Amino acid sequence: MPRLHLSLLAVLIATVISSCGSNNLQPLPSPLNSPYHDEQPALSGDGRWLAMVSNRNGRREILLYDLQLQRFVDLPGLNYQGAIADSPSLSRTGRYLVYISSIQGRPDIVLYDRATKQSQLITQGYRSWIRNPKISPDGRYIVFETAKRGQWDIEVIDLGASTEVDLVDGVLPQNSP
């Protein structure tokens, strides 16, 4: 009788292992709270997405959590190897994410577009210390603090009229211009 149980157990384990490579499996929900150090939460305007700084993967990086599906989202091209990430901010539907990345020892603002899965260094060559970037709900403007004049001031970057705005269901909300 024990030999039969071991055979059934072996078949069950083999079935589970062989199905793990299947692309048809949905990832299991991931817990938000964990023994890892998570900080600096930022919520998208629609309340679905949560960006945070975390050390879950053994380094300080930005992670994105889908509150509706209760799982982390893979963001290829977001975090640079060896960079320190800080201060995330999300647009209305979480399409755009801005954050500070210290790639070469100085902080730079990085804009990540989830639709194109590409990062863009916004302040490359900027000659001042910066902190606390925030992106507008539509994704067109980035505001941040700068020490350009020897004190902390506010600066605004307009990404331009050609920026594809972050829309809710393809339309701007009622209160938008």
Domains and CATH numbers, the chain: 35-158 (2.120.10.30)
Nearest to 59 by CA among 76, 43, 91, 83: 83
Q: Which residue has the higher pLDDT, 146 or 33?
A: 146
Average pLDDT over residues 10-27: 36
Q: Which residue has the higher pLDDT, 163 or 125?
A: 163
Q: How confident is the model at residue 2 (pLDDT cuts 50, 70, 90)?
A: very low
Average pLDDT over residues 8-12: 37
pLDDT in the model for residue 24: 34
Give the total residue count for the chain: 177
pLDDT in the model for residue 177: 44
Mean pLDDT of the chain: 80
- Each residue of 25-42: pLDDT tens digit? 334 456 777 778 899 999
Contact 147, 155 (CB under 8 A): no
The C-alpha atoms of residue 173 and residue 160 are separated, in whole angstroms, by 20
For the cut 90, the answer to whether the pLDDT of residue 14 exceeds it is no
Nearest to 94 by CA among 48, 153, 33, 144: 48
The C-alpha atoms of residue 51 and residue 114 are separated, in whole angstroms, by 12
Q: Residue 147 corresponds to which tokens in the numbers above?
A: 């020490």
Q: Which residue has the higher pLDDT, 9 or 57?
A: 57
- Each residue of 73-132: pLDDT tens digit? 999 989 888 888 999 999 999 999 999 998 777 899 999 999 999 999 999 878 889 999
By CB neighbour count within 10 A (0-12 exposed, 13-18 middle, 19+ buried), where does 142 fall?
Answer: buried
Q: Residue 25 corresponds to which tokens in the numbers above?
A: 């499996």
The C-alpha atoms of residue 83 and residue 95 are separated, in whole angstroms, by 22
For the cut 80, the answer to whether the pLDDT of residue 68 exceeds it is yes
Q: Cα-Cα-Cα-Cα dihedral of 22, 23, 29, 30, to 10°?
A: 90
How large a percentage of the chain has pLDDT more than 90? 52
